[in-house]
Each structure stands twice: as C-alpha cells, then as structure tokens.
Amino acid sequence: MSKRKAKEPSYIVPALERGLLLLQAFSKDKPVQSLGILAKELDLPRATTFRLANTLEHLGFLIRDEESGEYRVGAAALKLGWTYLTGLELPEIAYPFLSDLRYRTGASVHMSVREGTEVVYVSRLAAQTALSSNIRVGSRLPAHASTMGRAMLQDLEDEDLFELYRGTRELAPFSPDTPPNVVALRDLLLKDARNDGVVVSRGYYEKGVVSVAAPIRDGSDRVVAAVNITASADKFADDALNRMVKDEVLRCAARISTAIGHDPDSHKPHAGMQLALPDTALADPRYDPVGGEQGHPEYQTRE
C-alpha cells in the first residue's frame, strides 16, 4: 500500500505554485539559470518549465538572454521585494543583524537615525553586562558629540554641513575630545571617511566608554542610519578593538545596508570632501550666532 501524501492546503492553484517555486530557484549564489537546470530543480518536464518561464518573462518577472537562453530575475520581481521592504520599519529589518553583532562582540548595540543636528535612537540591544545607561529607544544625542552622529554626518557636502550648523559658533562640549566648532567637526569627519567610514571613540562623549560606529546606506547610496557598539573602555584592548570590533561593526552596517537595497559597488566618496578648510572659515557669517549668544540644550542621556 502506498503512503498517503500529506494533506494539501485547500484552494491551491498548482500552476501559480509552480511559477512561484520557479522564481524561488534564483538566489544570490544562483542569479542566472538555464531552462534545463530549472526543470531539474523543480522536477518538471522541460516543456512545462518553458511555459512557466515564458509567462514570467512576459510579465517582467524574468529576463531571458537572447544568446545563451538563460534566465535571471526581472524588475517586476524586484518591485515586489521593494514593496515588502517598504512595508517594514528599519528596526524590524535590522534586528537580526544587530542581535548578531551583540552576540559577536558582547557589547551593547544601538541604531539611530539623524534629525537635524541630533541623533534619535531607534534600536537598543543591551548586553548582559551593559553599562549603566539611560539610553532608550527615542533618546536623543547631539550628532557632533556621538559616534553614530559622526557616522551619519560624514557624507554631507561641506556646504550642507555648514548650513546645518548655521548660527552655531561653538559646539556644546561633553569631553575634552568634543570638537569645539564646525571646522573641527568637519576635520574629524574627514578622518572618519578615510577610516572606511568607521568612527572609533574612547571617551568621546562619556569618560570610560568606548564606542565604534558605522553608517548604513540605502539603495540610492544615502546614509540613512548608523549602528554602534558601546562598552566600558577596559572591555576591549586596542588591538582587539581595531581588529575585531571594527570589522564586526562594519559587517553589520553592510548587511543592513544590503537588506535595504544598497549596492556596495555604487558607493563613491562625495566630491565636497576637500583636504582642508581655510582658516577664515570661522569668520563665515553662517557661524555667527543669531540673535545673540546661543545656549545649548542639556542632554540627559549618555552613550
């Protein structure tokens, strides 16, 4: 007696099911497939596979190379993928990668987006031995005094950076390493850009805390967020920080970027990143305080 097949779900359309399975046969490792390979993988007659592929090609889900006869995924399939991604929030997409970064480094992991001159925390995964911190999702820090802020600011053209801090002659100090003005901040951003975009800090915002951050880019190569790890300064030796932590943070940022459509080959350093600014930059009227001495907000959170 033959074994009974598992009960099939009701109202399944076999032809549609086979067509979707055919699309699923394509992957990052197998972006191009021949008709024969597809038929073998789907365990279908070659003629049936051809009809499925021909229909998907007609609808734009597959593209057929005229010379080789091989297929690859078309724009219609990509559009569906983008529709799915746009229905998700960035923290949802990033969570598995942030969780993996916490596991690999043993440090607390955060992700933030930039709103003007501030960074807003949108994800926080605390380590088991996390530092005492009142950082929460929704916490805000000054971009110039945080590693994730610098990671997101470094892609700005000079003119955009100046305009962002227009009317701000001095930047609020949080440690001896906080840049005192926009010119000093811009020099730090140049240094960060030369370091693969990674920002490494020991006590940059808070004494005794080490932080490593990297930018996250979208499909148009724009920096849309940043990821970082934070830990006590004695947790990582200098060599370990440079070799392991930096690589892991970069890897996490790259994985999130890829998940939201970024192509690493498309990234080009922006033309506005000059080697130096003139000493007269501080005399630029854009730095002059507007309406007298400007105060600085008190930030109660700590990175």
Inter-helix orientation angle 90-105/246-259, to 10°: 160
Residue 268 lies in a domain: yes
Range of the domain at 52: 14-76
The 10s digit of each residue's pLDDT in 245-260 is: 889 999 999 999 999 8
Q: What is the domain-level CATH number for residue 105?
A: 3.30.450.40
Q: Is 9 inside any structural domain?
A: no
**Averaged pLDDT of the chain:** 79
> Are 58 and 98 found together in one domain?
no
Average pLDDT over residues 167-190: 84
| Residue 62, pLDDT above cutoff 90 | yes
pLDDT band at 4 (very low <50, low <70, confident <90, very high): very low
> Does 260 map to a domain?
yes
DSSP E strand boundaries for the chain? 32-33, 62-64, 71-73, 108-115, 118-125, 140-142, 199-202, 209-217, 223-232
Residues 145 and 260 in one domain: yes
Question: Same domain, yes or no, for 22 and 128?
Answer: no
Are residues 92 and 69 both part of a single domain?
no
Q: Is 1 inside any structural domain?
A: no
Domain count, the chain: 2
The model's pLDDT over 82-98, given as tens digits with 9 standing for 90+, comes to 666 555 588 889 999 99
Q: What is the pTM of this model?
A: 0.63
Give a yes or no: residue 7 inside a domain: no
Lowest mean pLDDT among 37-41, 212-216, 286-290: 286-290
Residue 107 and residue 19 share a domain: no
pLDDT tens for residues 98-143? 999 999 988 899 999 998 989 989 899 988 775 656 678 888 898 8
114 with 24, same domain: the answer is: no
Taking residue 221's Cβ as centre, other Cβ atoms within 10 Å add up to: 15
